[in-house]
Amino acid sequence: MLNPIRPNLLLCAIISLLFLASCGARKERTLFNAPSDIVTDTIKHVYVVNDQGISDAYYKIKVNDQLAIRNVQNFEFGATGAASNISAANVTTSGTNTPSGSIQNVLSYAVEADSMVNLPAIGKVKVVGLTRREAAIKIQDLYKSKLLKDPIIELSVVNLKVTLLGEFSRQGNFLLERDNTTLIDILGEAGGITKTADPKSLKIIRGDRSHPEIIYVNLNDINSLASKKLILQNHDIIVLQPTKSAATSDKLQSFNNILQPLLVVVNLAVLIFTVTRQ
């Protein structure tokens, strides 16, 4: 007769293997793993690998940026009309540049390889190397001298973004619509983190993709908020891992879905064998 202890031993062995396999479950679920990720459970505030220094707080316009530009007419400044876009609809377009894309119904214009943006009525304006505010003032002065009465130019760079991946309420690309956008600003836009997120495991991948700067952040500690490294830069990738227990639970659930039918077959075989041996 088959020893009834053997199935139990088999079950124990399988469970032991499952727990051993689950040890690397969190790593398997995390994108863009790095050797330095071992610091995740030990950092107190912010820890930086391959530190590239503090970036400029104010973004400087670059070639291929997309600039959304509009004239905000304000009665307090003596304007006589409502808000109006600077577009081909109300001024004559000069040059061959055409608006490409839009944000909040405001037309955008590409910064070309010659460092210029080609705008309606005033033509090409050199903007590369300027901050958003500096470019807005320069364009405002040009429109005031050539076309508009007391214009108020609003300028934004609509192609600046960061990417959130992992345990956030919403993942995806988020625009950096203003200077000095912080990690907390973007976390707020994303709706915070999930219940299964490990707040000690957040990392920001920044800069050169072949040799990036990696910034580890402990969201549990309020002192992390003081770090200037948390002012986000264009193309930052922000990754947040699940807790070890959540990752292990998911791993065990996957194994359980496979194991349950197998155990049913084994138990049925043992039952048939036992009955036929009597």
Domain edges within the chain: 5-20+245-277, 31-57+160-241, 66-157
pLDDT classification of 63: cutoffs 50, 70, 90: very high
- Fold of the 31-57+160-241 domain: Outer membrane lipoprotein wza fold like (3.10.560)
Beta strands in 158-201 (DSSP E): 161-166, 172-175
Name beta bridge partners: 213. 206
Selected residue with higher pLDDT from 47 and 103: 47
Mean pLDDT of the 40-47 span:
87
- Which amino acid belongs to residue 148? L
Euclidean distance between the first and the last CA atom of the chain, given in angstroms as a whole number: 8
Whole-number pLDDT of residue 77:
34
Percent pLDDT > 90 in the chain is 49
Whole-number pLDDT of residue 27:
61
pLDDT classification of 262: cutoffs 50, 70, 90: confident
H helix runs in the chain, sequence order? 5-22, 25-29, 132-146, 183-189, 244-277
Buried b / exposed e across 93-124, counting CB within 10 Å, b at 16+?
A: beeebebeeeeeebbbbbbeeebbbbbbbbee
Selected residue with higher pLDDT from 236 and 35: 236
Selected residue with higher pLDDT from 194 and 80: 194
Q: Which two tokens stand for residue 103?
A: 């944000």
List the Cα angle 43/47/49 in 5-degree steps.
Answer: 130
Quick: pLDDT tens for 156-178.
999 999 999 999 999 999 999 88
Burial of 268 (0-12, 13-18, 19+ CB in 10 A): exposed
Neighbouring residues of 80: CB distance < 8 A, sequence distance ≥ 6: 73, 149
Orientation angle between helical segments 244-277 and 5-22, nearest 10 degrees = 160
CA distance 272 to 264: 12
- Fold of the 66-157 domain: wza like fold (3.30.1950)
Quick: pLDDT tens for 187-237.
999 999 999 999 999 999 999 989 999 999 999 999 999 999 999 999 999
Name beta bridge partners: 107. 102
pLDDT classification of 257: cutoffs 50, 70, 90: low
How many CB atoms neighbour CB 231 within 10 A?
A: 18
pLDDT classification of 97: cutoffs 50, 70, 90: very low
Quick: pLDDT tens for 105-158.
567 899 999 999 999 989 999 999 999 999 999 999 999 998 888 889 999 999
